[in-house]
Amino acid sequence: MHVDLALFEGDELLTRDSFRVGAAELSSFSPLFKITHKLGQEAADIVLSEFPTHVDLNTIVLKMPIHESSDWESIDMGRYSLAFWCRLDA
């Protein structure tokens, strides 16, 4: 599954990243956090961690169902929001 991810503070885009979630656990770094991900049977396990001190977030743990998004989806986290778009690999 391919995931596009965008972190906003209010209306300001802080970072946008894209990654492919597969069976092996992998980690990568965006400008603002570490992304660790692995594909499970029914969901992708995605962990966002190691935020800098000026970003008032700790660790975000997502169990993202394996699916194809029809539009951007988002999670409200107070003054931050996490938007994502999932695509199934062909």
Domain boundaries, the chain: 2-87
Query: Please, which pLDDT band fits residue 89 given cuts at 50, 70 and 90?
Result: confident
Spatial CB neighbours of 77, under 8 Å, sequence gap ≥ 6: 57, 60
90 has pLDDT over 70: no
Query: Please, which pLDDT band fits residue 1 given cuts at 50, 70 and 90?
Result: very high
6 has pLDDT over 80: yes
- Predicted local distance difference test score (pLDDT) of residue 21: 96
Cα–Cα distance, 22 to 69 (Å, whole number): 17
Cα–Cα distance, 6 to 84 (Å, whole number): 6
Q: What share of the chain has pLDDT > 90, as a percent?
A: 97
- Predicted local distance difference test score (pLDDT) of residue 60: 95
pTM of the model: 0.90
38 has pLDDT over 90: yes
Q: What is the mean pLDDT of the chain?
A: 95
